[in-house]
Amino acid sequence: MDGGFYFVTWRLADSLPQAMLSAWHEERHDWLSRHPKPWTSSVAAEYRTRFPKRLEGWLDDGYGTCILRESACARIVGDAMHYFDGVRYELASFVVMPNHAHSLFQLRGDFQLEDVMHSWKSYTSHELNNMLGRRGSVWQQESWDHLLRGVKYLERCLDYIAANPAMAGLGSDEALVYEAPGYRALTESR
């Protein structure tokens, strides 16, 4: 394996109301302008609570059409992530929620994060639109990615992915969760 682990969140195009998202972006921009880096640990914790955690909560509230709640739709996304596993990346874990997905993986060779995300979104958009008999955007253009720095963050992401459906109040048939064998052992050997 060649690089660090990426934790990526990607969401459906209709997963958040635009007015809510615009207000969030404006508030975040204002907050960042008043809190230049480097941050203390308390400022970093405030940022995580005010912005990423709040956004995750909104996604877990289930806005939008939530087409990924249908197991056949979730399988399309899961199968796309498995397709180049071991070739372009090493897939550690993922969860497909009703209106978004989280993936944890390590890039291989010269493959770039943007190319992997484009491949997943492009293929699944085509397949989901075909399955649902519709046209148009499926995914929001942006995604949120974090390069993990250390084994403790790997463990946190594995735990978050595994617990996300229950934290959102979903039943076992409303999300698709995968964890590759062996990655928990990395976190236990530290």
Would you say residue 1 has pLDDT above 70?
Answer: no
pLDDT at 152: 84
Using the 8-state DSSP alphabet, how is residue 100 labeled?
A: E
pLDDT (tens digit, 9 = 90+) per residue, 116-170? 999 999 999 999 999 999 999 999 998 999 999 878 889 999 999 999 999 999 9
Section 48-72 average pLDDT = 93
Q: What is d(CA 93, CA 82) in angstroms, rounded to the nearest whole number?
A: 10
Q: What is d(CA 166, CA 54) in angstroms, rounded to the nearest whole number?
A: 17
Section 68-93 average pLDDT = 97
| Percent above pLDDT 90 for the chain | 84
- Give the residue extent of every domain in the chain: 5-13+67-188, 17-62
Mean pLDDT, all residues of the chain: 93
Instruction: Retrieve residue 169's tokens.
Output: 């109040």
Q: pTM value? A: 0.90
Angle made by CA atoms 43, 161, 3, in degrees to the nearest 5: 75
Using the 8-state DSSP alphabet, how is residue 40 labeled?
A: P
Beta-carbon contacts of residue 162 (< 8 Å; ≥ 6 apart): 93, 95, 177, 179
Supply the Cα-derived Rg of the chain in whole angstroms. Answer: 17
Interior/surface letters 7-46, b for 16+ CB within 10 angstroms, e for the rest: bbbbbbebbbeeeeeeebeeebeeeeeeeeeeeeeeeeee
pLDDT (tens digit, 9 = 90+) per residue, 14-41? 999 889 989 999 999 999 999 999 999 9
CA-nearest of 167, 138, 149 to 53 is: 167
5-13+67-188 belongs to which homologous superfamily?
Answer: Transposase IS200-like (3.30.70.1290)
pLDDT at 119: 97
